[in-house]
Amino acid sequence: KTVEKVSPTLQTSKFLDEGVLTPEEFVQAGDLLTHKCPTWTWESGDPSRNVTYLPKEKQFLLTRNVPCYSRVKSLENETKHAKYDILNIEGEDNEEWVAPSASASDVVDIQKDLASLSVQTTTTTTTAKPSAPQQQQQDEDSDDDGEIPDLEDFQDDNLVEDDPSTLSKPTVNKSNNTTTTTTSTTSNNTSTAAADDDNILRTRTYDISITYDKYYQTPRVWLFGYDENRRPLKPEEIFEDISEDHAHKTVTIDSHPHLGISFAYIHPCRHASVMKKLITKQCENGKEPRVDQYLFLFLKFISVVIPTIEYDFTLEFDT
């Protein structure tokens, strides 16, 4: 934080040379993203947290309610043997994409890294598999959320609705054991399987935001997750949606610069070098890298880290 305050804002474009962005270029890239993918919007955030190097109405990018049908664990099982490498960010210098606190012991084996990169990165449907129950460990509500009072005490007998014209939300079916996901925060009743009355399968959703990181001069991705009942996910639950090789290493929790609440974010320390490689690759393939397309490339690469969160970056894009 302090470093960020004293470090000067990047003025001249170093996009091609270093894979980084100036604030102006971030705005350009964001404009194209919101134009091509209307699910992404510019947000102004908390006015008291505005930064001066970005326009008031364009402080950060946000996409809401992005479905996340399955956990990374099940995806990795499905595609374990799929051997294709879309991004191929393996560099000649064997630079790995590693943890922020990179000490020698933390360094991820490049082979392992590549394995995680073989995950499909298209936005097209990953079909939910409610029929393949993953007997996940239900972390038995390690009462870190304090005492949970009995809400039945709040029953108000005057409030009764019996309306033939109402299609209610499906109620939780207690005998249903096909739980594919984990706990909700308060109730012991965690079934989230297919609904009985409208066949809607509940899914987790994420709000994803992209801020401009002044220190690293790259975009920074923030994740906020909700469970099937729209309760915020706990950090450890969010880690279930982050590729195993990156969870706990490249993802950590901090206060969102424009909202002031805690989000999980993908640490940007390697973003520039990965982007640089992707840009170089584009050049080698005879394509002219465009700075306003930066975020499409960037999001494609981020999807390696969060392969099951189906956010939108639909522009046809080859590296």
Partner 1 sequence: MSILQFKEFSSFINISFWNELAQKKLNIFKLSDAPVNISAFYTYSSSAQLDPFLSIEYNSFLPLTSSNEGDSLYKLPPKSYLSNGIIYNYNTKEDFKQAPKQKIFEDVSLNIWNDIKNGNVERDSSLLSRFLILTFADIKNHQFYYLVGVPALSFESPITLRSPVQPINEYFTSNQVASLKGQLVGSQQQFFLIRKEGQDSVEVASLDKWSSFVDEAKNGTLIVGFSDPCSLPSNPGWPLRNFLYYIGFKQIKDVDVVCIRDVKGQSIDTSIVLQLALPETPTEWSKKSVGWEKDPNGKILPRLISLASTMDPLKLATQSV
**Contact set for partner 1, span 61-120 (CB under 8 A):** 64-65, 67, 69, 99-101
Ranges within 27-56 binding partner 1 (CB under 8 A):
37-39, 41, 44-47
Which residue matches tokens 């002219």? 288
Per-residue x/- track, 271-310, partner 1 (CB under 8 A): ----------------------------------------
Ranges within 117-146 binding partner 1 (CB under 8 A):
128, 144-146
Outline where DSSP puts E strands in 227-293.
Answer: 251-255, 262-266
Answer yes or no whether residue 224 interacts with partner 1 by CB under 8 A: yes
Respond yes or no: is residue 68 known to be catalytic.
no
Cα 1 → chain centroid: 23
Note whether 312 and 37 are within 8 A (CB). Answer: yes
Q: How many CA atoms lie within 13 A of 217 on its CB side?
A: 21
38, exposed or middle or buried, with CB in 10 Å at 0-12, 13-18, 19+? Answer: exposed
Q: How far apart are CA 13 and CA 19, in angstroms?
A: 9
Ranges within 244-263 binding partner 1 (CB under 8 A):
248-249, 252-254, 259-262
Ranges within 198-217 binding partner 1 (CB under 8 A):
198, 200-203, 205, 207
Note whether 229 and 195 are within 8 A (CB). Answer: no
Answer yes or no whether residue 155 interacts with partner 1 by CB under 8 A: yes
Of the two residues 37 and 302, which places its CB atom closer to partner 1 in the complex?
Answer: 37
Nearest to 90 by CA among 65, 118, 69: 118
Q: Which of 171, 175, 284, 288 binds partner 1 (CB under 8 A)?
A: 171
Note whether 67 and 203 are within 8 A (CB). Answer: yes
Of the two residues 104 and 151, which places its CB atom closer to partner 1 in the complex?
Answer: 151
Instruction: Give the pairing type, strands 262-266 and 218-226.
Output: antiparallel
Closest distance of CB 194 from partner 1, Å = 10
Closest distance of CB 92 from partner 1, Å = 29
Selected catalytic residue, list 37, 68, 269, 283: 269
Catalytic positions, written as ranges: 269
